[in-house]
Chains A and B, each alone.
Chain A
Amino acid sequence: MRAPNPDVVRVLIHSDARQTIKTAAARAFPLEAGGLLLGWWDNDMVVVRAAIEVVDPAATGTSWIRHEGLAQRALDQAVAKFGHPWLGYIGDWHSHPAACDASQQDRQSIRIASLAYAQPLVLIVHRRDGIIDIHAARHGRPQTVSAESI
């Protein structure tokens, strides 16, 4: 067995999550769409099992904001609906209506959010050209990501 590299966060992304993000991004175009990543942590691996959309009524072509109240409600509903014992919040996603990667602001936001959790959080940015840009942060620090699809 390969010894785990402590600096690399493995992110496993389920096709359901990709599909949800892709659909929501297309629907919202030319505005940004965004929401929560749901899944669990398995050792140092983050499993992104599903994504849900959280509507930001004020979203623009260059901004999407996660509002706590709306997001928590969406999380609670999703957890109840899926009924999966391991499912919970593990990060955020949003779309870029242009072909550009996560911004400085994006990376800072996920770093700040990660301060409140023991395990790393994942940020997925869905670019207009279909490429997804993946970042992770643990305890406020950026992490190197190795992503796989499942």
Chain B
Amino acid sequence: MATLATHFKTALSNIEPSDDAENAQAAHAEVTKVLEADDLLVKLGVDPILIGSYGRQVSIRRVKDVDVFVRLSKAGKDLRPGRILDHVAAVLEESFPGRVTRQHRSVMIDFPDDDLSVDVVIARPCGDHWEIPQKIEDDGNARWVETNPTKMAELTTQANKDYLLYDGDPGSGVYVPMVKLIRQIRRTWVDDQPGGYFFEVLAYHAFSNLEPNETSYAKYLTVVLREIADLLIDVADEGLDDPTLDGKTIKTKATPEQLAAAAARIDEAATLAEAALGANDCLAAVKWRELLGTTKNTTTEEQVFPLPEYCNADGTKKKTTAVTQGASTVPAGSGRYA
């Protein structure tokens, strides 16, 4: 059994979006400042927060886009999202000339220096929840759809408290590191769709179903990945329950073919993880490397899981000393010398 704990720790730090984090924080702050300075938006009770994987701190290197959820807490039922989005785009254009794109349901601001974009989504209150425009008509009216993006952040925080590597040590949460590893595996093993959020939700369900209690990242990853592979088979037929909204399922752009392909690939990945867990050190390391792949969208692709110094890339152990101990057994039978 090879759990290679120190190397998993390095793998996790290799997918940590440390440089992106500062840039994302700064970009978010800039956009928020502009929005909060606009009179109309202030009247509508503007209150932007970070959402998305970055907001939930489960993003991995590279972070390409940051989602800002602009809550308009005083907006009424008569709010016409088309107009408001036009207004937001205009306000932002003034501060970020030439970098603003009015999209179908949101406004995107480009930060080319950081190779980053910020997506601004507007929302109006709806009971305890929020609604975002789903489809905006030509007249600026829209159909609204219920959403609860902050709920996922709450669930993530809670799950990271529930699943601990060390009992009683709240600093040893494994849920967040596992979601990051699962997102990295998706990037490596699945073509484009389903996306990272879909897999994050899968991971959430896998944890809820299994309530795992393991002693290493390697073991957690192996059992969670297997459960996700199993879940994916059912998801093709039944859809994926949205843990933030009762009775709703997660929308995905993935076609049934893409879902089936993803299920097959993740099954393969889960089998690889099981083999890695059962293998001995160097062979295990090579399998973990294959599973976790390379960092995506980085200048150079870097292997996420390090190869231990004492291993060769083919999974054999480096022969650091050329000495072979003399045999511990004599030849069988008897040998006659004349």
Contacts and interface: CB of A to CB of B under 8 A. Distances in A.
Contacts of A119: 324
B338 A63 contact: yes
A32 B323 contact: no
B335 interface: yes
Contacts of A68: 330-334
Interface in A54-107: 62-68, 71-72, 75, 79, 85-90, 92, 94, 103, 105-106
Contact of A41 (B323, B328, B331): B323
A136 to B, nearest CB: 14
Given A68-B330, A89-B329, A62 B324 contact: no
A17 interface: no
A91 B105 CA distance: 81
Nearest to A43: B322
Interface string B290-331: 000000000000000000000000000000001111111111
Contacts of A63: 336-338
B331 A105 contact: no
Contact of B327 (A42, A90, A105): A90
B271 to A, nearest CB: 33
* Size band of the interface chain B makes with A: 10 to 19
A38 interface: yes
A109 interface: yes
B338 A117 contact: no
Contacts of B331: 66, 68, 112-113, 116
B332 A42 contact: no
A79 B326 CA distance: 10
Contacts of B337: 32, 34, 63-66, 92, 94, 103, 105-106, 109, 125
Interface in A15-44: 32, 34, 36, 38-43
A113 B335 contact: yes
A43 to B, nearest CB: 5
A40 B338 contact: no
Contacts of B328: 75, 79, 88-89
A109 B333 contact: no
A124 B335 CA distance: 14
Contacts of B322: 42-43
A79 B336 CA distance: 24
A101 B335 CA distance: 18
A87 B323 CA distance: 11
B326 to A, nearest CB: 2
Contact of B326 (A43, A62, A86, A110): A86
Interface of A: 32, 34, 36, 38-43, 62-68, 71-72, 75, 79, 85-90, 92, 94, 103, 105-106, 109-110, 112-113, 116-119, 125
Interface of B: 322-338
Given A65-B334, A67-B334, 8 more contacts: A64-B337, A66-B336, A68-B330, A68-B333, A86-B326, A106-B337, A109-B337, A125-B337
25 contacts: A32-B337, A36-B330, A40-B324, A40-B325, A41-B324, A42-B323, A62-B338, A67-B334, A68-B330, A85-B325, A88-B327, A88-B328, A89-B326, A89-B327, A89-B328, A92-B335, A92-B337, A103-B337, A106-B338, A109-B336, A110-B335, A113-B331, A113-B335, A116-B331, A117-B327
